[in-house]
Chain A
Amino acid sequence: MDRALDPDLLREAIGNLGSLPSVEDLATALADAEIELLAGRKPSTERLLETGWFLFGAGSSHAALEQYGLPRQRAAFRVAAHIFDIALQRSLMDDHDRLELCFAAQLAALRSEINPNATAVYRREFPRGPGNVGLASRVNDLALALGVALLATDIRYVFDATEQLQNELTTLSRSWAIQGFADTVFGAAVDVALACRDLSLFLIRGEASRLERGEQRLRRAVQSEASRGDIVSRWVAAQLLDFLDGLRSASIWTALPPDVPVSVRRAFVLTQPPIVQLWPPQVKLFGIGANGEFDPFSQDARRQLISTPTSGGKTLVAQMLIANHLITTGTSVCYVAPTRSLCHEVRGSLDRRVRHIGSSSYADLPGGSPLDFSDFFDVADGPVVEVMTPERLAHILRTSPQELLLRFGMFVVDEAHNVGDPARGWTLESSISYIHRATAETNHKLVLISAAIGNRNHFVQWLQSGEANGKILEFHSEWRGPRRLHCLWTTDADFQQEVHEPAHETRRPRRRVPLRGVLSIRPTSTGRVRHLSTAQIGELILRRNKEGRWIKDGESTPFYRMIIPIVQLLMDQGPVLVIEVTRTEHRSIRTGTRGTAPT
């Protein structure tokens, strides 16, 4: 949201398209609609939707691309993607309209390089897939259903639906006594559906012939004379054709350097969750080699500093570097993560990948007893990935430094900015420094990853010092996938409605003040702050103490309980992560019942 409401982006998108709303009006309308949705209401989006379609059309125009260039096209698609996303959440619509708008939203997201939204929109709108489609039923939806599934890389749906379709086509071609469907009125719909299958096979197997066949089918569909009246299927074909370069270049089979083994690619394509498409910063990083630099998979890339914002896809980058290292060098990988819970999380996601290539990963063992190196690893095994905390790494470095360097050929340090942590930073920094110095003349790789390195130049200088050729691979991207909306949730005491309780025997006088929830939202960095308030969600109880002052009483509603309404509200939009300090608070949030939504 922060980006889509950026005035410069809106200005770029609207360009010289006359009669569209002004930048200010569009930003206001988008912000209002987002806030209405957040409040659980259904905003009116007709005018917004009209603007979205105009921008989508302008983005789709080959002539406009030639005249105004790629930045304008991306801006138009990005704003359109945002509008369609809002519109999808707003209204009740039939399956066809939902498919159509979902496809447009996904396409616009992909063509404006906010790839994760294409999958997120699909999962929200069609959590169980778009349902059965075919010639006998829902032929109008056939191309759209396959299109939305392809764009969300729901490969399972594409395979299942097209398998059923192929059976139907076989039966029908016999009974209709025709050779094929391409020249019939169903030609465009059938060709689009089967092209989606071809493209999915390309994504899974990397077969260029499938990509070519898919392209041929799409071209035939959009130019089909017999099904010229099937504007929807031909529209899907046209959009997929225009997106084909993006699909090809972001494929794991194309984006990774050619010398990355097939088994590495398969480890990501064939394991859950399957990765068949990479995000823009990943494509850029892995494509560095094409510019004459060494790529991150190269043996020469001995020192790497990779920084992207949270949700920028750096975990996947690390996984791919690790998988490649395990296969191509035969030495193990040491992955350093700041906390034990994160170690387990990293291990969980790594394990599926590395097991596919015949390796294993181990998470940090519970602390307590002093263990030596052989307690951690069965050194007779093949290369593995060991995930550990900085403290564990430091311990091993103190006790068995040589074994550690013999064992591991690659060190990946996640959240490397933690070297600046006042409490634990020194431990991490000294370990990295030791490894960096001790492996200055060896082939060991040291990869530092972070979401938030403010002083990248210092890191670069650090890694360059003592490095034989002084070359390090430094990659930074500001790309961020999901939209962000920053809000503050507070309570507001309504003293107008307070109730006084006089003293009674030993009980001191009290004032009961209703508390309302207040959600403060600033949709843009420059826009005004909007406030949503709830009905009463708690009570502030003030008690007069012996000195005659009013103090907060322990019977007041604890704040963690008053978080429940906002959590419930946000849960309507998707999963919510709540971080609480104590188990009691945690339990309270979990068991919280539905409360009052902001109005």
Chain B
Amino acid sequence: MPLTDSFVITERSGRTYTWSTQLHSVAESPIGDLAHELADRIMAIRCRGALQHLASWRARAAGGPAHTPAITSALEAFIEPVFGMPGAPRLPDHVEGFVAQHLWYELTSESAANDGIVFVTVPAFHVTAPGGDALVIQRLAEGLSFRLWELKKCTGNSKVSGTVSNAFSQIEANAAKYLAQYTATEQWTQVPEIASFIGTIIEQWLAAAPTASAGVAVNTSLALVPRRCFTNFGRRFPRFANPIRLRGLVTAVDDFAQFVVAVQGAVWTGL
């Protein structure tokens, strides 16, 4: 089931930026189904190279028999670092950040073909893993362009505006390091056109070239979705101020914290 089918997307525009909302529609898919689908995709990524464990996990999650201790132990290695284990969960803050990254990745990957996306980085194994949140390369009419994304989650009493402001600060503070690491790493990709393009992203960013863009994505609860958002984007990044180059995204489910707990529970059902 494509995850994007479960969301209603609304595009909005500002003078110096654009932003959109992706709001989960219970009518399209119950939240539990969404959680199970995302949990399955997360496990598929984490169990790469150990597909027998993915199969075991899926069988158990579908109500199959209990695993042998050896299989449980192996699955624990893939699950525990992020979700923790039943009775000993990881910090909600970390798990929420991790699920937010994966939700963004899956939704972005599904719409890649429509959006001309030819390259997107994969979420880290650990939610606390450092490094840039995401780099996306798109093919537009003018050629390739890239966007450096900062991915955030907003739950509890937080306000999306505050989360967005923090995201702006993180891009300002860390763009140089993230781009330096992407440059060195992704230029080894085996697609020559992409490799060659990535070798120039530092220069493009520093020159504020039209091909360099920034994005901030916030995953939150429906009740927290603001009517206005990202209004300071252009002021914080004046050299990039352009509706195409500054992009905001708010993705919301009914209660994001509860949704994350549901994803965590869905992952644990396969143990």
A residues whose Cβ falls under 8 Å from a Cβ of B:
16-20, 46, 49-54, 56-58, 60-64, 96-97, 100, 135-136, 139-140, 172, 175-178, 181-187, 219, 222-223, 225-232, 234-235, 237-239, 241-242
Closest to A231 in B: B131
By a CB distance below 8 angstroms, the chain B residues around A219 are: 188
Q: What does DSSP make chain A's interface, helix, strand, loop or mixed?
A: helix
Contact B184 A239 (CB under 8 A): yes
Task: Say if the beta carbon of B129 comes within 8 Å of chain A.
Answer: yes
A46-B173, A181-B49 in contact; A238/B184 too (CB < 8 A)?
yes
Contact A175 B179 (CB under 8 A): no
10 smallest beta-carbon distances between A and B, as pairs: A57-B180, A63-B199, A183-B49, A184-B49, A53-B176, A226-B48, A229-B122, A60-B184, A231-B131, A176-B74
Residue from the list B126, B130, B177, B187 in contact with A63, Cβ < 8 A? B187
Is B124 close to A, CB under 8 A? yes
| Most A Cβ at <10 Å: residue of B70, B180, B206, B239 | B180
Q: Is the CB of A19 within 8 A of B183?
A: no
Question: Does B9 touch A at the CB level, under 8 Å?
Answer: no
Q: Would B123 and A57 count as touching, CB distance under 8 A?
A: no
- Complex contacts, A49 vs chain B, CB 8 Å: 176
Q: Is B189 an interface residue (CB 8 A)?
A: yes
Contact B180 A53 (CB under 8 A): yes
Task: Decide if A176 touches B50 in the complex (CB within 8 Å).
Answer: yes
Please name all residues of chain B whose beta carbon is closer than 8 Å to the beta carbon of A136 when the two chains form the complex: 77
Q: Are the CB atoms of B125 and A61 closer together than 8 Å? A: no
Between-chain CB contacts (< 8 Å), 22 pairs:
A16-B203, A17-B207, A19-B239, A50-B173, A53-B179, A56-B180, A57-B181, A60-B183, A135-B77, A175-B74, A178-B50, A183-B48, A223-B188, A229-B124, A230-B125, A231-B129, A231-B181, A232-B130, A232-B131, A235-B131, A235-B185, A238-B188
- Smallest beta-carbon distance B205→chain A, Å: 8
Determine how close the nearest CB of chain B comes to the CB of A548; give it in whole angstroms: 67
Task: Output the nearest chain A residue to B132 by Cβ-Cβ distance.
Answer: A231
| Residues of the A chain whose Cβ atoms lie less than 8 Å from the Cβ of B180 | 53-54, 56-57, 60
B70:A57 contact, CB within 8 angstroms? no
Cα-based distance from A566 to B44 in the complex (angstroms): 60
**Assembled-state Cα–Cα distance A140/B206 (Å):** 29
Task: Give chain A residues whose Cβ lies under 8 Å from the Cβ of B173.
Answer: 46, 50
Q: A50-B176, A57-B202, A228-B121 in contact; A235/B70 too (CB < 8 A)?
A: no
- Of B131, B181, B199, the most chain A CB neighbours within 10 A belong to B181
- The reply to whether the CB of B136 lies closer than 8 angstroms to some CB of chain A is no
- A178-B49, A231-B132 known; A223-B202 Cβ under 8 A: no
Expressed in whole angstroms, the Cα–Cα distance for A140 and B94 within the complex equals: 15
B128 x A238 contact (CB < 8 A): no
Q: Are B45 and A57 in contact (CB under 8 A)?
A: no
* B232 is an interface residue with CB less than 8 A from chain A: no
Within 8 A of A (CB), among B204-255: 206-208, 239
Chain B interface size, under 10 / 10 to 19 / 20 to 34 / 35 or more: 35 or more
- Residues in A with CB closer than 8 Å to B189 are 223
Measured CA separation A237–B187 after assembly (Å):
12
Any A CB within 8 A of the CB of B53: yes
Which residue of chain A is the closest to B53 with respect to CB atoms?
A: A176
- How far, in Å, is B37 (CB) from chain A's closest CB? 19
B190 within 8 A of A: yes
A-contact 0/1 string along B151-195, CB 8 Å cutoff: 000000000000000000000010111011111110111100001
Q: Is the CB of B49 within 8 A of A185?
A: yes
In the complex, which residues of chain A have a beta carbon less than 8 angstroms from the beta carbon of B49? 178, 181-185, 187, 226
In the complex, chain A residues whose CB is within 8 Å of the CB of B207: 17-19
The reply to whether A177 and B74 contact each other, CB–CB distance below 8 Å, is yes
B129 touches A230 (CB 8 A): yes
Given contacts A64-B202, A185-B48, 7 further A-B contacts (CB under 8 A): A50-B175, A53-B179, A57-B181, A62-B199, A183-B49, A185-B49, A232-B131
Find chain A residues with CB under 8 A from B179 CB.
53-54, 57
Q: Which residues of B have CB within 8 Å of A238?
A: 184-185, 187-188
> B125: which A residues are within 8 A, CB to CB?
139, 185-186, 227, 229-230
> In the bound complex, do residue B131 and residue A54 qualify as a contact, i.e. CB atoms below 8 Å apart?
no
Closest to B172 in A: A50
Which residue from A56, A62, A176 sits with its C-beta under 8 Å from B77?
A176
Distance to closest chain A CB from B232 (angstroms) = 20
Question: A418 → chain B, closest Cβ, in Å?
Answer: 48
Chain A CB within 10 A, most for which of B46, B131, B132: B131
Nearest CB in chain B: distance from A172 CB, A: 7
B52 at the interface (CB under 8 A from A): yes
- Given that A58-B202, A61-B200, A184-B50 are contacting pairs, would A231 and B185 also be in contact in the complex, using a CB cutoff of 8 Å? yes
Contacts of B10 in A (CB 8 A): none
CA distance A58 to B188 in the complex (A): 15
Residues on B with beta carbons closer than 8 Å to the beta carbon of A172 = 77
Instruction: For the complex formed, measure the closest distance between the CB of A396 and the CB atoms of chain B, giving whole angstroms.
Output: 58
Q: Which of B124, B177, B183 contacts A61 (CB 8 A)?
A: B183
The smallest C-beta distance from A213 to any residue of chain B, in angstroms, reads: 18
Q: How far is the CA of A182 from the CA of B49 in the complex (A)?
A: 8
Q: Is the CB of B70 within 8 A of A175?
A: yes
Tell whether B73 is near chain A: CB-to-CB under 8 Å.
Answer: yes
CB atoms of B177 and A53 under 8 A apart:
yes
Interface string of B75-108 (1 = CB under 8 A from A): 0011001000000000000000000000000000
Chain B residues whose C-beta falls within 8 Å of the C-beta of A64 in the assembled complex: 199-200, 202-203
Q: How far is the CA of A56 from the CA of B185 in the complex (A)?
A: 13
- Evaluate contact between A177 and B48: CB separation under 8 angstroms: no
CA distance A487 to B131 in the complex (A): 39
User: What residues of chain A lie closer than 8 Å to B181, measured between beta carbons?
Assistant: 57, 231-232, 235
Q: Given A185-B45, A231-B132, A61 and B187 touching (CB < 8 A)?
A: yes
Q: Is the CB of B45 within 8 A of A229?
A: yes
- Which interface residue of A96, A181, A229 has the most chain B CB atoms within 10 A? A229
CB-CB under 8 A from B206, the residues of chain A are: 17-20, 54
Known: A231-B124, A232-B130. A175 touches B185 (CB 8 A): no
CB–CB A51/B190 < 8 A: no
